[in-house]
Amino acid sequence: MSLPWFIISTLSLLVIVSLIYQRNALKKLSYSRYFSASAVYQGEQIEMVEEIVNRKLLPLPWLRLESSIARGLEFGSQDNLGVSSGEIYQNHISLFYLRSYRHIRRRHQIRCTQRGLFRLESVTMTTGDLFGMSRNSKQFPLQLELLVYPLMMDIYELPLPVHSWLGELPVKRWIVEDPFLTAGTREYRPGDSLGAMNWKATARTGVMQVHQKDHTADVRLIICLNVENSDNMWRNITDTERIELGIRYAATVAEYADGHGLETGLMSNGRLDGEPDAVNAANAGSLLEVLGLLARLQLDRTLPMSRLLELEAENSPSDKDYLIISCHRGAELVHAAEELRLLGNGVAWLDIPAEGRDSA
């Protein structure tokens, strides 16, 4: 065979191979990705698992998978893995070689360095022939989420004097009667209201009887997290590290309350991921619900904290305890807190110290 024919034959073969890969490379190809846990605490390490299956005879000499995820997940070093970080997002790139009818599972070690809700919505898959003459891409949708709860602290790491105030709450919870819960009757005592009289029991026993009220398990503690750096800030939060410390305070208090049987709610003038309004989950209840809200909290002020407390006071709450976690005690905020106190609620402050101050 002469050299020209050899060149023509070789080029023709390359074109045919290129066309085959162009049309079939991404067919019968499946991809999945998942985390070893759906929710973890900041600082913990988990696995991210990638699985890719080639269900056809045609091998893939190279396959490139690329996706973007918010910063806060630290990938360990690994062959065939590249991670490039931007200001907000980081690109995650994996390289594969897939033989015919091949199933590959790859595990990545990840350390969760920041709280938050991390979403992976899609991955872009690119492949082609060995000589690079053809290249084809396809985007695979993903619905993958990882919730990273805030890092906990020891309760005694919180600034004084909130320790003693928190210690009084479990006792207070069991000595306050709920007027809507009845647990039998008892004899009348001076000072009891006539409206509490149980006339049937009085007639039956011949002794004046009143309704015995039971103790409540309703929400008692409302954690009020203020994301303002100062009382004159507008919208942008400049000292994010200080607010993140406040979030850790809130998580620690919620854990303490849960461990002592206290129903806990959360209010914040920040907003949740994907939502425009302030957080007002007064009936969040369980620890994981509160931690989930704190994990999703965006450092973006929606309205002044004083206004949020004013709106709360308009509902005339009573017999609740409000813990205000804040960088400042501006005049308007103090006034709004006093309105809650005058309605018969307990109000305490937990100051977020400025950088360089001792917070223990």
pLDDT in tens, 113-158: 999 999 988 899 999 887 777 788 888 888 899 999 999 999 888 9
The owner of tokens 């997940």 is 73
* Residue-wise pLDDT tens digits, 286-302: 889 999 999 999 988 88
Least confident piece of the model among 1-10, 105-114, 136-145, 166-175: 166-175
The CATH code for residues 155-175+217-351 is 3.40.50
User: pLDDT above 90 covers what percent of the chain?
Assistant: 42
Locate the domains of the chain by residue range.
Answer: 27-149, 155-175+217-351, 177-215
Residues 6 or more apart whose Cβ sits within 8 Å of residue 150: 41, 42, 115, 244, 247, 248, 250, 251, 291, 294, 295
CA 171 to chain centre: 30
Q: What is the mean pLDDT of residues 95-111?
A: 91
At 188 the pLDDT is 65
Tokens standing for residue 289: 């619900």
**Contacts of residue 156, Cβ cutoff 8 Å, sequence gap at least 6:** 163, 360
Provide the 10 A C-beta neighbour count for residue 200: 10
Check pLDDT > 60 for residue 208: yes
pTM for the structure as a whole: 0.77
CATH topology of domain 27-149: Immunoglobulin-like (2.60.40)
Which single residue is written with the structure tokens 């305490």?
Answer: 348
Residue 183, φ and ψ in degrees, nearest 5: -130, 55
In whole angstroms, what is the distance from residue 238 CA to residue 228 CA?
9
Say whether pLDDT at 38 is over 90. yes
> Closest by alpha carbon to 103, among 68, 54, 173, 38?
54
Question: So what's the pLDDT on residue 180?
Answer: 45
Cis bond upstream, residue 150 (ω within 30) = no
| Cα–Cα distance for residue pair 251/257, rounded to 1 Å | 10
